Structures are given as structure tokens and as C-alpha cells.
Amino acid sequence: MKVERTDFISVPVTDMERSTRFYGETLGLEQIGHRGWPEFQLGENISLYLIDPTNIGRSFTGPHTASIALRVADVAATRAELEANGVVFDGDIYD
């Protein structure tokens, strides 16, 4: 098997509207699809989509513990921008 690339990352959520606003408005990610699961572009080769597990017959067993690392040009400036938008961080910057 030869993997060409990672296609998407799914993030289980309990509040689809709030989560869609966070990824789209707060983080400023481009929303590229919906069809029941909002999908956001992450860079050139991967997307992130939100899923409510109860919509596919599963239960939510959160919190979601998989890390998602987003690369930005200036980590400190991006953190300051996110904090200005109401994002609260629980620790120091790891650049």
C-alpha cells in the first residue's frame, strides 16, 4: 500500500454550530464543505471535518484527545490574535 497523503482529520463535537463558528470565525479556516459535516481546509493537502457521533449511531466519548498542530508563520503573534478573539490558552507557547 502506498499512501498518497492524509485526506482529512475528523473531530467529534457535541455542539456543531458552536464548533463551526470556532473553526471558521475564530480560527479563520476556510470552510470548504458541509453535507452534514462542516469541513475546513488546513493548508494545501488536508482538511478537518466536524462530526457529531450521535448522527451516525454512536455516542460521544469525549473529550477529543488527539492533538492537531497547525503551523503558522509567527506563533506569538497568532496566539495574541487568538487571545484577542477570546481564546484562552492553558499553557505556554511551544514553537
Q: How high is the mean pLDDT of the chain?
A: 85
Q: Is residue 60 part of a domain?
A: yes
- In 3-state terms, what secondary structure has residue 79? helix
Query: What is the extent of the structural domain holding 27?
Result: 8-84
Instruction: Tell me what pLDDT residue 95 has.
Output: 67
- In 3D space, the residue among 48, 50, 85, 37 whose CA is nearest the CA of residue 70 turns out to be 48
Q: C-alpha cell of 17?
A: 454550530
Beta bridge partners of 12: 51
Instruction: Tell me what pLDDT residue 84 has.
Output: 93
Check which CATH number belongs to the domain holding 32 and give it: 3.10.180.10
* Sign of the four-CA dihedral 86, 88, 93, 95: negative
Q: Is residue 95 part of a domain?
A: no
Give the number of domains in the chain.
Answer: 1
Does 77 have pLDDT greater than 70? yes
Model's pTM, two decimal places?
0.78
Query: Which residue did the predictor score with more confidence, 62 or 25?
Result: 25
pLDDT tens, position by position, 41-61: 988 888 898 988 887 778 777
